[in-house]
Amino acid sequence: MRRVPFALAALGALAGTPALAQDEPLKTVDIGVVQDSDINVVQKLLYPKAGRTELGFHLGWQPFDAFTTTPMAAITFGGHPSETLGWELGVGGGYGLKNGTLTKIEGPAYGVSPDAYRYLASAWGGVQWAPIYAKMSFMGRKVIHHDVYGTLTAGATMEQAVLPDHTMAVAPTLGAGVGMRFFLNDKTTLRVQFKDDVLAEYRSKTAATQGLFIKQDASITAGITLLGKRT
């Protein structure tokens, strides 16, 4: 009978051991310094582009010309052989309106009509390089996935003289730009872009601009693009 209290005490001690262990703080194990070469982080993109087409509809503005301001629109189509490299074809159209500077110098105070040309249409092809894919938190509630890309293009631009005879000019064009895609879902992106086109435009209107004239058409565009099916 004397053994019974001792047996119960022993069982109580054993039952209490896990509780005591749980109350103890966790101990960390020092494994030493981890070298960069020992770490290989592979991130699976939530919205991949590789092997997919991209159809885009864009609206924009050319606000930087000295004498005109131009609303414009464009349609683009391209593809992405990889996550970083892509190609694209595009056509655009718009109409250059006289800005305040041109209206003022054509007025009675100056009476001068400069040899200005307005943008009408363009077509181009080019390549894209997107080295950055990133995520950012919006107000701590939504994670926005986006990429950053650069583009180089070549094509042609059609413009029209603002002077009354409306002489036409078709100019070889080289362009460079930067842009971002904000992925709205797996199939849709909001794309914004700044691109500067350099035109080699032949003019024969006035002595000051006869011959080859170098002109820049810088544009800011925003649009919706639709990504094709994943391959």
Inside any domain, residue 10 = no
**Per-residue tokens: 211:** 């011959």
**Residue 29, pLDDT score:** 57
Within-domain flag for 174: yes
The pLDDT, as a whole number, for residue 97 is: 95
Residue 20 lies in a domain: no
pLDDT confidence tier of residue 82, bands split at 50, 70 and 90: very high
**Structural domain containing residue 212:** 36-227
Burial class from Cβ neighbours inside 10 Å (0-12, 13-18, 19+) for residue 206 reads exposed
Lowest mean pLDDT among 24-38, 61-75, 85-99: 24-38
Q: Is residue 177 part of a domain?
A: yes
**Position 222, amino acid:** A
What are the residue ranges of helices labelled H in the chain?
A: 3-23, 100-106
Between the alpha carbon of residue 210 and those of residues 112, 120, 159, 204, 207, the distances in Å are 18, 21, 16, 4, 5
pLDDT in the model for residue 71: 98
What is the per-residue pLDDT for 224?
Answer: 98
Domain count, the chain: 1
**CA separation for the pair 53, 81 (Å, rounded):** 9
Tell me the pLDDT band of 186, cut-offs 50, 70 and 90: very high
pLDDT: which is higher, 42 or 188: 188
pLDDT value for 15: 45
- Mean pLDDT, rounded, for 145-154: 97
| CB 93, CB 73: distance < 8 Å | yes
Share of the chain above pLDDT 90, in %: 60
Condensed to tens digits (0 to 9), the pLDDT of residues 164-173 reads 888 899 999 9
Asked if residues 187 and 227 have their Cβ atoms less than 8 Å apart, the reply is yes
For residue 48, is it within any domain? yes
Q: The pTM is what?
A: 0.78
* Residue 112 main-chain phi, psi, to 5 deg: -115, 135
Residues 99-132 pLDDT 10s: 999 888 988 877 788 888 999 999 999 999 999 9
In the chain, the DSSP E strands lie at 52-62, 68-80, 85-94, 97-98, 117-138, 142-161, 168-183, 188-203, 211-227
The model's confidence at residue 28, banded by pLDDT at 50, 70 and 90, is low
Place of tokens 């078709």: 170
* Inside any domain, residue 4: no
The SS3 of residue 84 is: coil
Residue 84 inside a domain? The answer is yes
Contacts of 212 (CB under 8 A, 6+ apart): 200, 201, 202
Q: In angstroms, what CA-CA distances link 106 with 5, 66, 102, 213? A: 113, 14, 6, 22
Higher pLDDT, 64 or 17: 64
Show the tokens assigned to 145.
């996935």
CA distances from 175 to 22, 31, 166, 187 (A): 66, 53, 25, 27
Query: Rounded to whole angstroms, how far apart are CA atoms 199 and 125?
Result: 15
Cα–chain center distance at 142:
19
What CATH number should be reported for the domain holding residue 57? 2.40.160.20
Q: 83 lies in a domain?
A: yes
pLDDT at 25: 54
Q: What is the largest CA-CA distance in the chain?
A: 126
